[in-house]
Amino acid sequence: MTIAEKLLRIANRSMNLFVACLMTVLFLYGGYSLWDTWRIYHSALPDQDLMKLKPVKGEDSNPSLQDLQKINADVCAWLTVYDTGIDYPVVRGKDDMEYINKDVYGDFALSGAIFLQSANQPDFSDPYNLIYGHHMSNGAMFGDVVEFADEEYFATHETGTLYLPEKTCSITFFACVETDAMDSQIYGYIGEPDTTGQMQQLLQYVQEHAVQYRDIGVTSQDSVIALSTCAESATNGRVVLFGKLQESSDNKQK
C-alpha cells in the first residue's frame, strides 16, 4: 500500500468518525429539544395540587382561593371558561412583565401565568378588565382563545366563571376580535372610571371590528372582561375575547 493510499484511508476513517460524531450530537440535540418542548407545554397545564385549590361554585366565599393567596399574594382570581382548557388562577404583578415568564407560584416558567394588567384593580371593580395569557399550541394557558375566532366554536362556547376571594361572577362572551399589539382602543384603555364615554367607544369599536359577535345587550354601564393572547399567523397579532361580567345570583341571594 502506498503512502497516498494510507493517507486516503486515514482521511476516510476520520471523515466517517466526524460524521458519526456529528450525527450523535444532532440526535442528542433533537432529543433534548423534543424533551424541552414537552416540558414547557406540560408545565403550562395546571397540576393536580393547583387544581385542588380551585374554588367550588356555590360557596359563600372562595376559601380555597384565599388559601392560594397565602402561597402567592399576587393571586386575585380564578378564571374558568367552560369546555376549554382555560381553567387557571389569575395573578396581578407590579407591572405587565412580571408574570410573562413566571408561574403562579412565582417560579421561572416560559409559559408564564394568566395575569390581570397591572393598571386594573385586583377586585375587578373596573369597567374594563384586561387579562393576558400565552398562546400555547396544546390548548394550555390562553391557547383556546384563538379558537373563538371560529364561528361554530364561538357559538358553542358562551360562558365562563370568575372566582374572586369574596364573590363569584358569571361571564357571558359576546365578541372575538383579531387585532395587533398596537391597538390603542383595546390596549390603551386601562379601565378607569368612565367619565369621557371611553367605554361606549370601546364597545362600539369591538362590535365594528369583531370577527365573531353576539348581541347580549352589553352597555357602557356593564363590567367587561377581555382575554388577550398572541395570534398564530402574525408576529404582533393578537386575539381578544370579550365577555360581560355579572355578579352571580347565588351571591346576591345570600
Q: Which of 134, 135, 157, 176 is catalytic?
A: 134
**Neighbour count for residue 83 (Cβ, 10 Å):** 12
Identify the sign of the CA torsion 62, 66, 68, 69. positive
Q: CA-CA distances (angstroms) from residue 227 to 131, 133, 142, 219?
A: 5, 8, 8, 18
The number of beta carbons lying within 10 Å of the beta carbon of residue 48 is: 6
Q: Residue 55's CB: how many other CB atoms inside 10 A? A: 24
Q: Where are the alpha helices (DSSP H) in the chain?
A: 3-43, 48-51, 63-71, 151-156, 184-187, 198-209, 249-253
State yes or no: is 230 an active-site residue: yes
Query: Is residue 169 annotated as part of the catalytic site, yes or no?
Result: no
C-alpha separations of 78 from 6, 33, 127, 152 in Å: 72, 32, 18, 26
**Catalytic residue selected from 76, 169, 176, 230:** 230
Taking a C-beta distance cutoff of 8 angstroms, is the pair 169, 245 a contact? Answer: yes
Residues 79, 90 contacting (CB under 8 angstroms): yes
- Cα distances (Å, whole numbers) of residue 242 to 50, 52, 129, 130: 26, 28, 10, 9
Q: Which amino acid is at 143?
A: G
- Active site members: 134, 230
